[in-house]
Amino acid sequence: MATAGGNRACGVVTDNAAYMRRSWRLLQSEFPALMCNSCTAHAVNLLMKDMFEIAELKLTLSECVSLTEYVQKRSAHKYRNVTKSKRALALPVSTRCISHNRVVLTALFGDKAVIGRIDNKENV
C-alpha cells in the first residue's frame, strides 16, 4: 500500500481468519483512515455450511442432491432444460457462496416446471 500510495485505498476486505485480523491492525496502525472488513459473503457461506450440518437440514440437502443427480443423469432432461428453461438444477459446491441453499431452494421450489417436463406431467 505504501508503494501505491496510502491515499489510494480506503478499505480492505478479506476473510475473517485470525492472521487477516492481525494484518488489519498492522495496516490500520500505518494508515489510520483505512477501513478493514471481513467478507460478508464468505461469512454467510460458512454459516450456511454449518446450518446444513443440522440433522433435518442435512437430510433435506441429501434428498435434494439425490434428486438433482437423478435428473442430471437423464439425457432427455439436458436437452429439454437447455431448450425450454434458462435455469438448471445444480449440486452444492463448498467454495461457491450459498450453493447449498440454492440447491435446496431450486430442487424444492424453483424448478418444478423442469422436473414436471422430465416426468411428462403437467402438474408437479
Cα angle, residue 111 at apex, residues 106 and 112 outer, rounded to 5° = 125
Alpha-carbon gap, residue 122 to 86, rounded angstroms? 19
Question: Phi, psi (5° rounding) for residue 12?
Answer: -130, 135
Residue type at position 30: E
pTM over 0.85: no
**What would the pLDDT profile of 2-18 be if each residue is shown by its tens digit?**
676 666 778 888 887 88
**What would the pLDDT profile of 25-84 be if each residue is shown by its tens digit?**
998 898 888 888 888 888 888 888 888 889 998 998 888 888 878 877 776 656 565 545
Mutual orientation of helices 75-84 and 55-72 as an angle, nearest 10°?
Answer: 90
Task: Report the chain's terminal Cα–Cα distance, integer Å.
Answer: 57
Domain spans of the chain, in order of start = 6-38, 42-118
